[in-house]
Amino acid sequence: MNVGMLWFDNDARTALKAQVERAADYYRQKYGLTPDLCLVHPSMLVEPRPEFVEGRAGKVALRAHRAILPGHLWIGVEDKN
């Protein structure tokens, strides 16, 4: 994913799945596209996280990426190339 939207949400009381869903809803409203990939800092995927099942939060795939700061989500549409 070369183009996406950076979303900041460091509320530790909110589940990661809910954070991703909020960011995805905003992305759909703003850009008219449905995101399918979300990059997060590896520390945000530390087990146990019951909402993290097989790297997905709803229809959005989750992937750890060291360049993403904690509390941030890089969300968008995965490149098909």
Q: Does 53 fall in a domain?
A: yes
Residue 33: give the domain boundaries.
Answer: 5-76
The number of domains in the chain is: 1
Q: What is the DSSP letter of 47?
A: S
Rounded to whole angstroms, how far apart are CA atoms 79 and 61?
A: 13
Looking at residue 29, its pLDDT comes to 97
Q: Does 47 fall in a domain?
A: yes
Q: Does 81 fall in a domain?
A: no
| Angle 53-54-58 from CA coordinates, rounded to 5° | 60
Listed residue (14, 12, 19) closest to 38, CA to CA: 19
Q: Does 32 fall in a domain?
A: yes
Looking at residue 24, its pLDDT comes to 96
Looking at residue 68, its pLDDT comes to 93
Alpha helices in 1-81 (DSSP H): 16-31
| pLDDT tens-digit map of 2-31 | 789 999 998 889 989 899 999 999 999 999
Look up the pTM and report it: 0.85
**Which pair of tokens denotes residue 34?**
């449905």
Average pLDDT, integer, range 33-52: 79
